[in-house]
Amino acid sequence: MASSQSTAIRRLMTEYKELTLHAPEGITAGPLSEDNYLVWEALICGPEDTPLEGGVFTAILTFPRDYPLSPPQMRFTTPLYHPNIYPDGRVCISILHAPGEDPNMYESSSERWSPVQSVEKILLSVVSMLAEPNDESPANVDAAKLFRTDRKAYEERVRKNAQESLGL
């Protein structure tokens, strides 16, 4: 095992233990298998007082071998209509963007990934993003447009997502 991979595994084992002991409310996460600490599943409850409230959304986090130097990728496997989630489920949020300057000059380097971040911080940022979409740099243009132009229709569609996430 390469040393960067063993560093990643050690770090992820530590983060998993911490998440198990002190999980933020409405979030559970951990490796899909004890044989592979680089692929995790997260369950995120829809934030209270939002159209997602009551829903439970599943996502996969895939960590690079050089974690924590590089951020993981995150993709929801539960369908989610949201301005900051690509139609294929990939999450578009600053904390998951590679460290350094943003080539599009939209984000400051302090908003992007750094090795001091953690799985818990990522998941809390995603919950915050779910509650308060950023429609200025959308991953899903249709969702952002509906969010801007017809909030009621957007919220109805998102409520439907929440119900469907429970198999209703």
Question: Which one of the listed residues 92, 96, 123, 129 is annotated catalytic?
Answer: 92
CB 6 within 8 A of CB 14: no
- Closest by CA to 121, choosing from 93, 79, 81, 84, is 93
- Give Cα 9 distance to the centre of its chain: 20
Task: Give catalytic status of residue 45 as yes or no.
Answer: no
DSSP 30: E
Give the tokens for residue 155.
């919220």
Instruction: Report CA-CA distances (Å) from 138 to 23, 79, 129.
Output: 29, 17, 12
Which residues carry out catalysis?
A: 92
